[in-house]
Chain A
């Protein structure tokens, strides 16, 4: 009995080691991929089967392009990276540029791509050309690579401003989280700023405050970079705290509106609070009592489903989640007209109240 358990233990350990090896293998090849030999054929109307993983094909897919050769039994080699041409990859799997065949001439790869599973899709050429159409999507075609789109491997981190922890001037603090949602550790350049309008981007010399830094972040939610960022804001007012993380020419942005107040000894707390001071009014005894104007009913925006005081795209998102679903709803407010279904009538009411503050 004990021997059996030991055997299982050994087997499980081997499996664990194998999975470790597998993880390493996947990560090592997703930026410089090859063609899976069991999924190697495209179809050419005039060429027949085209092999992308023959013994001397040596096809490699990188973040910038394809190298190596494809083989057509009828027309011979197709060079994927000839001088004066070459099939390019824009890192998101969209292919472009030209391959060369001495028998067929230039072959334009525009309109083909590698999807997020590593499968080639689309077709190149035209029926009137000598090559005819070359198809990656026919019923028995399947060219697969272990290369993966850059956005699936490494990308700008998911950035969030969780709260404005101190909104008292002149030293403002914001709690932020940056998460690497790719599969490899990456050093990210990031910048943060305080600006006077949401449309104003960080940088450009018109920021109230601007700073930048870099941070290496391992992939995974549990490896997120959680920190507090400081900024100097000299005057009271309404501002936007922005955090921008860069990865190549891609970027991620988080923004949080807050009201900077004079230091009253209290904390900030999530960008709320107006910080206005109510003046004390002493009534003059000789004045006649004024007739109080009728108190206006506060505006109730029934489409403000998340109760943040404004009807906006957050409420639009909540409404769409419940679209055409029937009562009961986990958020009963979404069925605005209480007819038991969330539909165009509720959408119309949301549009009517769009942008209104309660």
Chain B
């Protein structure tokens, strides 16, 4: 009888404990991923240059890619620039690209470490207020965010648009221009970066190409230039197909930030190739020696 009672009490105890655990879990609400805009600039007038931050919040799940477009009122607003230097996304399949005739800004960015948290900076948009009135900044259907789970799981984040009030120009208030403080003040070159020389059957028909990516923490990278022969630099993007497939030249890549500061990185493709070939030859020689030694050892053993 006592054993029976104990069993009952144990069952009730387990049930109660389960309820406590369940309630504890239920109390921790999972927060949704969302994207929104933020601007601290007040009293915007026609002619002002001001910044709007594009942000992402993902407090409970790690995300690694964002892919979408922003639409803005092209009659009242014009994008002067987009600054990615403080972005949590470091790799851009499509760096933020805007078209002021369409009022559209598109981007595909990724982070190699994932992002989980609130108020993550995606990028900063510098707008020029062209005309007075209420100017809407919204998201194009459909903005995609992916979980950092190795499966490419797509999230459909909540989207919060923004309305900016632009008033007529008044002499009482000085004109705002965020641009100089963001860009002109940048005196620091992009950070050092490496150039990787490769060839692969899956890209450029197995021809030699280079990959590169630099970071500039102040104004952000504006563009890259490549010189294959020590001569004229030509604007280029990564991956870059080498013109000289015989690898006789030194290749130089110049990363230029929005303030015009430069960082140059160089790779001696000939040496690189020679190094690879030399390693191959060395490996074959070592292998041959090993085979000879084994054969001699076996002969001796016989």
Contact = CB atoms under 8 A, between A and B. Distances in A.
Contact of B211 (A22, A158, A312, A345): A345
Interface size on B, as a range, is 35 or more
A313 B32 contact: no
A312 B108 CA distance: 10
A169 to B, nearest CB: 23
Q: Which residue of B5, B157, B160, B198 has the most chain A CB atoms within 10 A of its CB atom?
A: B160
A217 interface: no
Interface in B182-224: 196, 198, 200, 202-204, 209, 211-213
Interface stretch (A4-12, A44-52, A54-62, A73-81): A4-12
B238 interface: yes
B141 interface: yes
Given A152-B31, A181-B30, A19 B23 contact: yes
Interface in B36-78: 36, 38, 40, 42, 57, 59, 64-65, 67
Given A249-B161, A302-B202, A320-B110, A348 B239 contact: yes
Interface residues of A, number: 82
B279 interface: no
B204 A254 contact: no
B277 interface: no
A320 B42 contact: no
Nearest to A352: B203
Contact of B34 (A155, A200, A249, A322): A155
Interface string A234-266: 000000001000010111111100000000000
B213 A344 contact: yes
Given A111-B40, A251-B158, A348-B198, A314 B152 contact: yes
Interface stretch (B6-14, B226-234, B266-274, B283-291): B6-14
Contacts of A182: 29, 31-32
Contacts of B211: 344-345, 347-348
A351 B239 contact: yes
A252 B158 contact: yes
A175 interface: no
A317 B160 contact: no
Contacts of B111: 320
Given A12-B16, A22-B27, A337-B200, A92 B36 contact: yes
A9 B38 contact: no
Interface of B: 2, 5-6, 9-10, 12-13, 16-17, 19-20, 23-24, 26-27, 29-32, 34, 36, 38, 40, 42, 57, 59, 64-65, 67, 91, 93, 108, 110-112, 114, 117-119, 140-144, 146-161, 196, 198, 200, 202-204, 209, 211-213, 238-239
Q: Give 7 nearest A-B pairs by CB, closest first.
A: A317-B146, A183-B29, A348-B239, A314-B152, A321-B150, A323-B112, A313-B67
Given A16-B16, A153-B29, 9 more contacts: A16-B19, A149-B118, A151-B31, A250-B34, A251-B158, A253-B143, A302-B202, A316-B93, A344-B196
10 contacts: A23-B27, A115-B119, A151-B158, A198-B141, A314-B146, A316-B65, A317-B64, A320-B64, A320-B111, A343-B196
